[in-house]
Amino acid sequence: MRLALVGDIGGTNARFALWRDSRLESVRVLAAADFATPEMAVEYYLASLGLAPGSVEAACLACAGPVKGEQFTFTNNHWRLTRSDFCGALQLDELLLINDFAAMALGMTRVSETGRRMICAGEAEPDAPALVIGPGTGLGVAALLPLGGGNWRALPGEGGHVDLPVADAHEAALWQMLFAQLGHVRAEDVLSGGGLLLLYRAVCALAGLMPRLVSPAEVTAAALAGDHVAVATLEQFCVWLGRVAGNNVLTLGARGGVYIVGGVVPRFADFFAASGFARGFASKGSMSGYLGDVPVWLVTADYPGLEGAGVALEQALAR
């Protein structure tokens, strides 16, 4: 593979890079709203590097949502992609589309010690699956399976849509507040950027207080400044993320470790490290010991989704 293109496309931003000799080059972040089609965005990206269509021979795009068939509709933006049209416009020999969290999971194989922070100490079992979970626009969940010989398989799913777990009376009272508004309470209804604001409003309602913060960023900033209601909100967010992550470890047997990814948690990394996440993660009754030595890392690397797209493309072409 001479030169390839990798992309990580979300609802707001599209990240592109060149992939050469198993490394990222020339990372650019573009606003999806600025382009009518993904082809136009890629053409603009290549032109910014002095490259014309045909300069890259293969591409891998990591896209939010289930990927199959000739056409793909992006979940959180206006783009649509037809494989044959995309390859024709950009003169590609190969196009691989993968789920964005599959790319994120594969990206964990490239994260160095400097790109992650230990949250729960433990010893990863090298042949066991690892869990990759991350609050962002939604809640992404995937498993990473070692296949041997330096190869990996990512298993994406819709684990963010599982029911929100309730483990004590306080959480049950908050759940009732959320249920009255939503009717069905999924994990990502709370464990996401927008979910943090929803949780804050539920905490205020339970305490009989009028909410005064109007964005997730304000809730986070207020918590870090010591506002007691915002602190309680962010603490509950961390505990619930621990509960959901622990449930997934039990389901998958993910003793290969847990990677917390996404754009939300790194914004309050110190708070998260000192929070009740570890308690929520490991408090599983008779199975608490099973989780007690599973390591958990907070990933702070810049572009793991792009790295994972490169890994996926190399493995696909090798096959």
The per-residue pLDDT for range 123-179, each reduced to its tens digit, is 999 999 999 999 988 899 999 999 988 889 999 888 899 999 999 999 999 999 999
Residue list for the binding site: 7-12
pLDDT score for 68: 76
Q: Helix (H, G, I), strand (E, B), or coil: what is residue 174?
A: helix
Residue list for the binding site for ATP: 7-12
146 forms bridges with which residues in the sheet? 152
CATH topology agreement for domains 4-105+303-318 and 112-300: no
- 159: Cβ–Cβ under 8 A, 6 or more apart, which residues? 133, 139, 140, 141, 142, 187, 248
pLDDT in tens, 59-77: 999 987 777 778 777 766 7
CB burial readout 166-201, b (16+ within 10 A) else e: beeeebeebbebbeeeeeebbbbbbbbbebbbbbbb
Q: Is the per-residue pLDDT at 115 higher than 70?
A: yes
pLDDT in tens, 251-267: 999 999 999 998 899 99
- Distances in Å between the Cα of 52 and the Cα atoms of 41, 56, 80, 90, 218 are 13, 9, 22, 8, 43
User: Which of 51, 167, 154 has its CA nearest to residue 100?
Assistant: 154
Q: Which fold has domain 112-300?
A: Hexokinase; domain 1 (3.40.367)
Q: Is the per-residue pLDDT at 1 higher than 70?
A: no
- Rounded Cα distance, 154 and 226, in Å: 39
DSSP of 107-136, one letter per residue? Answer: HGGG--GGGEEEEE-----TTS-EEEEEES
pLDDT in tens, 198-245: 999 999 999 999 999 999 999 999 999 999 999 999 999 999 999 999
pLDDT score for 319: 75
Average pLDDT in the 19-32 region? Answer: 94
CATH 3.40.640.10 fits 4-105+303-318, yes or no: no
User: Average per-residue pLDDT in the chain?
Assistant: 93
215 and 158 in contact (C-beta within 8 Å)? no
Q: Which helix or strand (DSSP H or E) is residue 152 part of?
A: strand 151-156
> Which range has the worst mean pLDDT, 43-47, 156-160, 292-296?
156-160
Task: Give one word for 278, left, alpha or beta, with left for phi > 0 and alpha for psi -120 to 50.
Answer: alpha
- And the tokens for 297? 């890392």
**Domain-by-domain residue ranges, the chain?**
4-105+303-318, 112-300
Tell me the percentage of the chain whose pLDDT exceeds 70. Answer: 99
- And the tokens for 79? 């783009």
pLDDT score for 76: 67
pLDDT score for 86: 92
- And the tokens for 170? 């306080």
- 313: Cβ–Cβ under 8 A, 6 or more apart, which residues? 1, 4, 6, 19, 58, 59, 60, 94, 96
